[in-house]
Amino acid sequence: MSKLFIVSTGPGDAQLVAPRAHKAIAASSDLVAYGLYLDILGDVCDGKTHHDLPLGEEIGRARLALNLAASGKTTSLISSGDIGIYAMATLVFELLDMQLEGKENHPQWLDVELEVIPGISAMQAGASRVGAMLGHDFCTISLSDLLTPWETILKRIEKAGEGDFVVSFYNPVSKKRDWQLNKARDILLQHRPASTPVLIGRQLTRPDEHVRIIRLDELDAKDVDMFTMVSVGNSESRHIINGTKEWVYTPRGYKKKL
């Protein structure tokens, strides 16, 4: 039987990898991933055939995983965070969709059994580090314009501001793209207080993790890199301090009952 596991490994802490992900990897003969993800997983990847394709080769990884599975090798396609959020799962299904439309010539792909295994995203990991930031309606927006036009991203930021969503920004900056985050900040400042709490979480759950809580008007792209998660509270999000401990939560409305 042809089998492809589409596996999430979580934000980086080995203890946050789901048991189902470990089971899928153990059942696989071949692992397809960016090498760093396999390094993080550690011993569970021993004895498997590794197919390490670099960043930027996402299409190649998805094609390779489908081809390996179609050839009869139980395969795991692996990505960090949740593989269905800005990650590889959507690309697998896009390729299958193209095959069904006759735009690909790989009919064997359609016989592959697929199983998507969810994981903890960076957004969830960051929220847990500061308390309950995602306690009410929220959205995610990627600031990368490599695949999505900036005009579309801009419209989504504006609507998120108007809708008063907690907003988590993926891909906030890169080496060649360092201005969009400040533009997003300026848009959100039109709809929520300057004091709105913002989570800056770098390398979340990993050994060199660094988490800060700042005000929205203090957010600056120069303090963020491609390994950073940025989450902005809504107009009601609260930053509370208890001695040396500080937390952020977004109330759901229980105050009326309390």
Q: Are 223 and 200 in contact (CB under 8 A)?
A: yes
Q: Is the pLDDT of residue 255 over 90?
A: no
Three-state DSSP class for residue 46: coil
**Cα–Cα distance for residue pair 85/33, rounded to 1 Å:** 16
**Averaged pLDDT, 86-100:** 97
Alpha-carbon gap, residue 135 to 202, rounded angstroms: 21
Residue 114: the pLDDT is 98
Confidence bin at 257 (pLDDT 50/70/90): low
- Per the CB < 8 A criterion, the answer to whether 191 and 173 are in contact is no
In 3-state terms, what secondary structure has residue 106? coil
C-beta of residue 127 within 8 angstroms of C-beta of residue 133: yes
Q: How far is CA 198 from CA 45, 131, 216, 217, in A?
A: 37, 12, 6, 9
- Read off the pLDDT of residues 198-244 as tens digits, 9 standing for 90 and up: 999 999 999 999 999 999 999 999 999 988 999 999 999 999 999 99
Predicted pLDDT at 126 = 96
The confidence score (pLDDT) of residue 234 equals 98
In the sheet that holds 75-79, the strands lie side by side as 49-52, 30-33, 75-79, 3-8, 113-117
Nearest-angstrom CA–CA distance, 155 and 107: 38
**Minimal CA–CA distance to 219: which of 249, 180, 162?**
180
Tens of pLDDT along 29-64?
A: 999 999 888 888 888 889 999 999 988 899 999 999
Alpha carbon 25 to its chain's center: 20
Q: What is the pLDDT of residue 127?
A: 97
With bands split at pLDDT 50, 70 and 90, how would you rate the model's confidence at 1?
low
Mean pLDDT of 143-156: 95
Q: Using CA atoms, how far apart are residues 232 and 138, in angstroms rounded to an integer?
A: 10
pLDDT exceeds cutoff 70 at 28: yes
Please check whether residue 105 is in contact with residue 132, taking contact to mean a CB–CB distance below 8 angstroms.
no
What's the pLDDT at 228? 94
| Selected residue with higher pLDDT from 1 and 92 | 92
| C-beta of residue 243 within 8 angstroms of C-beta of residue 199 | no
DSSP 217-245: GG--GGG--TTEEEEE--TT-EEEEETTE
- The H-assigned helical ranges of 9-162 are 19-27, 35-41, 58-70, 88-100, 122-130, 150-162
pLDDT tops 80 at residue 254: no
Interval 157-199: pLDDT, tens: 999 999 999 999 999 998 888 899 999 999 999 999 999 999 9
Mean pLDDT, the chain, whole residue set: 94
pLDDT-derived band at 258 (thresholds 50, 70, 90) equals low
Query: Is the CA virtual torsion 8, 10, 14, 19 positive or negative?
Result: negative
- Enter the pTM of the model: 0.91
pLDDT at 139: 97
- pLDDT confidence of residue 64: 97
Q: Is residue 253 pLDDT above 90, yes or no?
A: no
